[in-house]
Amino acid sequence: MSEQQQIASQGVFITLEGSEGVGKSTNLAFIEQWLTEQGHQPIVTREPGGTPMAEEVRELLLAPREENVSEKAELLLMFAARAQHLDSKIKPALAQGRCVVSDRFTDATYAYQGYARGVNLDWIGQLETLVQEDLRPDLTILLDVSIEVAMQRVSMRGEMDRFEREKAEFFEKVRQGYLARAAAEPERFAVIDAGQPLESVKADIAAALDAFFSSASTNTSRSAKNARLNG
């Protein structure tokens, strides 16, 4: 079996992360296209959401409301949606050898609920273990840009959701949280300068994907994870 065929027979879990307005939606389509051209048949999904029930939880989470939202309620709803998403969509797809690309995953919980809201990072770790067991992304592409540039990019949009109403200081903490996560796990993260022109961002993403799929060491970790997923 060729290396390409071997990769195709194993599940690969890729996540795309970054603060608001970094260009995730814009680049997600490019990632899907790149993977499709390489023969990976990607399943593209998002968090919070990705299944009908998890999308309902997303609506609950994003809706602006007068009532103050408890940080613990927000945290638990994120993981409730994630549990549903994992069990009914992500894990079955990985077990079938599919390549799953998720627009945000648990690094977002660390960045938003942990670093920005101030929720205890150990609690997040405990919920991560409860909900995911040992499942972690194989590759996380972090789009990074200054908060000033990101906010300029999203300023033209219409009505803002509950998170988008936060102030620049909040998003700076989110950004620093993501960068801290990336620094702690450099082998999993590819940090892309999203302040460049879009074509350069896409070229860097393609290079990161190429490096990932060519890497023998990541193949090994995927094999181990796949064995666990298949019991």
Contact positions vs ligand Z5A (CB under 6 A): 18, 20-26, 47-48, 78, 103-104, 108-109, 112-113, 153-154, 163-164, 194, 197-198, 201
Q: Which is nearer to ligand Z5A, 158 or 231 (CB)?
A: 158
Provide the minimum distance between the beta carbon of 179 and ligand Z5A in the complex, in angstroms, as a whole number. Answer: 16
CB of 105 to ligand Z5A, least distance (A): 6
- What is the distance between the alpha carbons of residues 122 and 128, in angstroms, rounded to a whole number? 10
Closer to ligand Z5A by Cβ: residue 8 or 69? 69
Residue-by-residue DSSP string for 73-111: HHHHHHHHHHHHHIIIIIHHHHHTT-EEEEES-HHHIII
> Which of helix, strand or coil describes residue 186?
coil
Contact 102, 16 (CB under 8 A): yes
Q: To the nearest whole angstrom, how small is the minimum distance from the Cβ of residue 24 to ligand Z5A?
A: 3
User: How far apart are alpha carbons 196 and 201 in whole angstroms?
Assistant: 6
Q: Which is nearer to ligand Z5A, 7 or 81 (CB)?
A: 81
Rounded Cα gap, residues 178 and 37, in angstroms: 29
Question: Of the two residues 104 and 188, which places its CB atom closer to ligand Z5A in the complex?
Answer: 104
Query: What does the block give as tokens for 129?
Result: 């273990």
Smallest gap from residue 140 Cβ to ligand Z5A (A): 13
Q: At its nearest, how many Å lie between ligand Z5A and the CB of residue 161? A: 7
Query: Chain centroid to CA 7: how far?
Result: 21
Nearer to ligand Z5A, 26 or 221 (CB): 26
